[in-house]
Amino acid sequence: MITKRTLLAAIVLSLIVGGIAGAEVDRVAFRSGESHFGKTKFINYMTEELGLTVNQQKQLDSIITYVHPKFQAIRKDFKVEMRSQIDSTQGMIKSILTPQQQIKLDSLNRKM
């Protein structure tokens, strides 16, 4: 039988895992500049893997420069939506808790 405690633990664990996964996606896939997946490294990688000519490299650079703001906007919208979903979920969780449990949940959230 699933108890409220088990359900709460599963929900909190899901939020933690989801938060970590979201942070990792943000860190790896959406960072600009010269990070591991930065523009220069990406162009160099594509050049090596596909044998791009100098002209193709310049064109690829232009494409990436053009689409970068679009990806940044998607990233921003994603973060806003994730925050909204987390807040909504927290509200639903709090609605099933006693006032003392709500205080403990707030403490857990601050630790995370």
- Which ranges constitute the DSSP H helices of the chain? 4-29, 39-50, 54-95, 99-111
pLDDT of residue 35: 45
| Local structure of 34: helix, strand or coil | coil
Nearest in space to 8 (alpha carbons), one of 90, 67, 73? 90
Give the pLDDT score at 11: 77
Q: Are 94 and 15 in contact (CB under 8 A)?
A: no
Tell me the domain boundaries of the chain.
Answer: 4-111
Q: How confident is the model at residue 2, as a pLDDT?
A: 65
Q: At what angle do helices 54-95 and 99-111 cross, to 10 degrees?
A: 160
pLDDT for 10 equals: 72
Q: What is the pLDDT along the chain (112 residues), one digit of tens a residue?
A: 667 777 777 777 677 766 666 655 555 554 544 444 588 888 999 999 999 999 999 999 999 999 988 888 888 888 888 888 888 888 888 899 899 988 988 888 888 7
- Cα gap 40→30, rounded to integer Å: 14
